[in-house]
Amino acid sequence: MAGKPSKKNPMSVNKSDTPLWMRVVIIVVAVSFVASGIAIVAAGIGGGGSSSSDADSGTDSITAEYQPRVDSAMTAMNSSPDNPDIIAQVGHAYFEWAVAVYESGQVSGAIPFWLSAVSYYDKALAIRPDDDIVLGNKAFALYYGQSEAAPSALQAFIDAASDNAELSAQVENARGMLAEYAPSVTATTTP
């Protein structure tokens, strides 16, 4: 049997035939897997769980996304301070920022953004008081911003937009939100 070539298993690798660059790549990949495993274990030993720095980094990423929107809207408003559509855009930018912060679980952290949105909605409504969308966004911002003015703003939106078919879902949402205030309102007026 000395004259026959040996059968190679198709899954076997002859390491002596592997080019040097391939060996280096395999070693680098193996070392990176080991290093990442060590980092994961170290993070687990270090405490795991979310920390305030995790929340801060979440807030930082939200700020990085929404601050430029607010800045851009403010620049546009400064160049056209009497245009209610542009003023409302500043309110919308703050509103969207508030939603992002609120949805990240930072309910109280969102309140300043809700109230900033309201201040710009008020400016837009001072110029054009019949803007149903701005009325609705103001009412919702006051509701989520936990303002005492929310019930009257919700009612104002419902009264103004109840015949607006495009906003029927928002009007129903406002009715539901307003209903949450009804027991406390009746409780204070009933002897």
Task: Give the CA distances from residue 126 to residues 72, 90, 141, in Å, rounded to whole numbers and listed in that order.
Answer: 22, 15, 17
- Confidence label for 182 from pLDDT (cuts 50, 70 and 90): confident
pLDDT tens-place string over residues 129-163:
999 999 999 999 999 999 999 999 999 999 999 99
Q: In this structure, is residue 78 part of a structural domain?
A: yes
* More confident: 48 or 65: 65
Range of the domain at 150: 54-189
pTM of the model: 0.66
Give the position of tokens 């001072």. 126
**What is the SS3 assignment for the chain?**
CCCCCCCCCCCCCCHHHCCHHHHHHHHHHHHHHHHHHHHHHHHHHCCCCCCHHHHHHHHHHHHHHHHHHHHHHHHHHHHCCCCHHHHHHHHHHHHHHHHHHHHCCCHHHHHHHHHHHHHHHHHHHHHCCCCHHHHHHHHHHHHHCCCCCHHHHHHHHHHHHCCCHHHHHHHHHHHHHHHHHHHHHHHHHCC
Highest mean pLDDT range out of 52-56, 62-66, 90-94? 90-94
% of the chain beyond a pLDDT of 90: 62
Q: In this structure, is residue 44 part of a structural domain?
A: no
Q: In this structure, is residue 92 part of a structural domain?
A: yes
CATH code of residue 82: 1.25.40.10
Split into its structural domains, the chain has a count of 1
Q: In this structure, is residue 33 part of a structural domain?
A: no
